[in-house]
Amino acid sequence: MRRPAPDDPSIDGVTTPEYRLINHFFHDFKGGLSTVIMCLDALRDGIEGAVTPGQDKWLEKAERNCQHLVSLIDDFRDLTRMEDSSHQLESEPLDPGAMFERLSTRVADDASRRRIRTAFDFVDDLPGPRAGSPLVGRILERLYGVLVDCTRTGGLVQTTVRIEGTGPVPELVLVIESEGVESDAELLDTVFDKFRQTGAGLQLGRGYTMLFCRAAARYIGGDLQLAPWPGRGTRADLRLPLATTGT
Amino acid sequence: MDKKARIFMVDDDTDLVDIVRSVLEAAGYEFASASSATEALDIIDNITPDLIILDVMMEDLVAGFRVVNQLRNFELFPQNKKYENVSILMMTSIQQQTRMKFSGDAGSRLLPIDAFMEKPVKPRLLLEKIAELLHR
């Protein structure tokens, strides 16, 4: 017979004052947004009748922006947990080849809305399916979101991907170059500072996304650095271990 | 004609309940709801549901867990043995706010539910999950 275990520490954990506070904070934000997203989804599915292509276009925009807010809430929440080392490192099956196929298609679709070109250059021997942190996919998704956003219209986002290391935890090494925002190295590093406006025009410093990407990369044993791409824009060097460490 | 399956949703977000009601009724299900764990446990005998969609944070942080406990702990609540085969689909946005991994714990001794979905849930996926739970 299946029975709950009320004395389990993971249930006790949610009743402490800190968890009560953080639970309510994120629950209230995310709960409201989730309801909006479900409304939009239901409308797009035709719950009140057929939706015209024009109506669907606006509903899609609203839904995409709500999803973005949900993602920001998730990132901010997990950032707070990484800072006190309480974020649990999980492991999931990860297929680098399939992941990059999906990622490159999605990035190209997003970029094409702003007439931005994308180019991906992969090594031929990406490792096969293995264990990895769910943070890997989130970091890549968030990082590309910012880099595409700060690329000038008509510009290029190009990526080279290679694998370094042959041990049990090889590293995925990405160099992502974006045409548009070029700043000196010192200023670029301030992008990762909390509560700091990094200056007009430096869109890379908006919000918490870059901060989250670096913190998450380091939390799983990787790193993220930004550097100028002389005369062109910005270069991001991202290293991510392909097997979860510390579990 | 087959009897319509009756879905009982327990959630304090009345707007969300309205949406799910519309989606499920349009798909041919009967629908009933409660806005708290206390209300759910008070009226469940009148509802006799085939499946329960359950939120976690309602009148308190662990209200949904209390419903699960009462409906699945037959030693403490033998009168609820009749709900043994009623599927519980937990649908909440708090998974990541707690230390629990609901998706991994679903069906375990710790979290004796039948399925877990994290909000926001696409209506189509919700319908698929309900159909799967009702027909297994």
Q: What is the total count of domains within chain A?
A: 2
Last residue of a domain, one of A36, A52, A83: A83
* Residue range A96-106, pLDDT digits in tens: 888 888 888 88
Q: With cut-offs at 50, 70 and 90, classify the pLDDT of residue A3.
A: very low
Asked if the Cβ–Cβ distance from B19 to A35 is below 8 Å, we say yes
> Would you say residue A66 lies in a domain?
yes
Beta bridge partners of A240: A172
Asked if the Cβ–Cβ distance from A45 to B124 is below 8 Å, we say yes
Q: What are the DSSP calls for A124-184, one per residue?
A: TT---SEEE-HHHHHHHHHHHHHHHHTBPTT-EEEEEEEEE--SSS-EEEEEEEEEB----
> Would you say residue B1 lies in a domain?
no
- Check CB contact of A77 with chain B, cutoff 8 Å: yes
Last residue of a domain, one of A83, A106, A140: A83
Query: Phi and psi for A17 in degrees, rounded to 5?
Result: -55, -40
pLDDT for the residue numbered B105: 59
The verdict on A69 and A104 lying in the same domain is no
Q: Of residues A50 and A78, which shows the higher confidence score?
A: A50
Structural domain range at position B11: 6-134
> Would you say residue A4 lies in a domain?
no
Q: Which residue, A88, A46, A44, A87, is CA-closest to A66? A: A44
The verdict on A99 and A212 lying in the same domain is yes
Asked if the Cβ–Cβ distance from B119 to A8 is below 8 Å, we say no
Residue of A nearest to B26 (CA): A47
CB A141 within 8 A of CB A148: no
Confidence check on the interface: ipTM exceeds 0.85, yes or no: no
Mutation target for B interface from A8, A14, A86: give the one with most B CBs within 10 A.
A14
Asked if the Cβ–Cβ distance from B74 to A1 is below 8 Å, we say yes
Look at residue A7 and tell me whether its pLDDT is greater than 50: no
Cβ contacts of A15 on chain B, cutoff 8 Å: 61-62
The verdict on A231 and A138 lying in the same domain is yes
pLDDT for the residue numbered A80: 80
pLDDT for the residue numbered B77: 93
Mean pLDDT of all residues belonging to chain A: 81
- Check CB contact of A85 with chain B, cutoff 8 Å: no
Residue A246, burial from CB neighbour count under 10 angstroms (0-12, 13-18, 19+): exposed
Q: What is the total count of domains within chain B?
A: 1
Cβ contacts of A2 on chain B, cutoff 8 Å: 72, 107-109, 112
Look at residue A244 and tell me whether its pLDDT is greater than 60: no
Asked if the Cβ–Cβ distance from A6 to B69 is below 8 Å, we say yes
Asked if the Cβ–Cβ distance from A45 to B123 is below 8 Å, we say yes
- Nearest by CB: A42 against B23, B61, B99: B23
**Cα distance between residue A114 and residue A95, in whole Å:** 29
Least confident range from A13-22, A99-108, A118-127, B114-123: namely A13-22
Query: What angle do the packed helices A209-219 and A53-83 form, to 10 degrees?
Result: 50
The verdict on A231 and A155 lying in the same domain is yes
The verdict on A42 and A152 lying in the same domain is no
- Supply the Cα-derived Rg of chain B in whole angstroms: 14
Look at residue A181 and tell me whether its pLDDT is greater than 60: yes
* Residue range A21-43, pLDDT digits in tens: 766 777 788 889 999 999 999 99
pLDDT for the residue numbered A4: 36
pLDDT for the residue numbered A85: 79
Cβ contacts of A47 on chain B, cutoff 8 Å: 22-23, 26, 123
A186: domain CATH number? Answer: 3.30.565.10
CB A38 within 8 A of CB B120: yes
- Nearest by CB: A20 against B16, B61, B111: B61
Instruction: Calculate mean pLDDT across residues A145-153.
Output: 86
**Cα distance between residue A34 and residue A67, in whole Å:** 8
Q: With cut-offs at 50, 70 and 90, classify the pLDDT of residue A164.
A: confident
pLDDT for the residue numbered A197: 58
pLDDT for the residue numbered B10: 97
- The pLDDT > 90 percentage for chain A reads 29
Look at residue A245 and tell me whether its pLDDT is greater than 60: no
Structural domain range at position A183: 92-241
Q: What are the DSSP calls for B84-98, one per residue?
A: TTSEEEEEES-GGGS
Asked if the Cβ–Cβ distance from B57 to A77 is below 8 Å, we say no
Q: What are the DSSP calls for chain A, one per residue?
A: -----TT-HHHHHTTSHHHHHHHHHHHHHHHHHHHHHHHHHHHHTTTTSPPPHHHHHHHHHHHHHHHHHHHHHHHHHHHHHHHTT-SPP--EEE-HHHHHHHHHHHHHHHHHTTT-EEEEEE-TT---SEEE-HHHHHHHHHHHHHHHHTBPTT-EEEEEEEEE--SSS-EEEEEEEEEB----HHHHHGGGSTT----TT-GGGSTTHHHHHHHHHHHTT-EEEEEEETTTEEEEEEEEESS-S--
The verdict on A45 and A151 lying in the same domain is no
> Would you say residue A2 lies in a domain?
no
pLDDT tens series, chain B, 136 aa: 457 999 999 999 999 999 999 999 999 999 999 999 999 999 999 999 999 999 988 888 789 999 999 999 999 999 999 999 999 999 987 655 454 555 555 666 677 899 999 888 999 999 999 999 998 7
Cβ contacts of A77 on chain B, cutoff 8 Å: 96-97
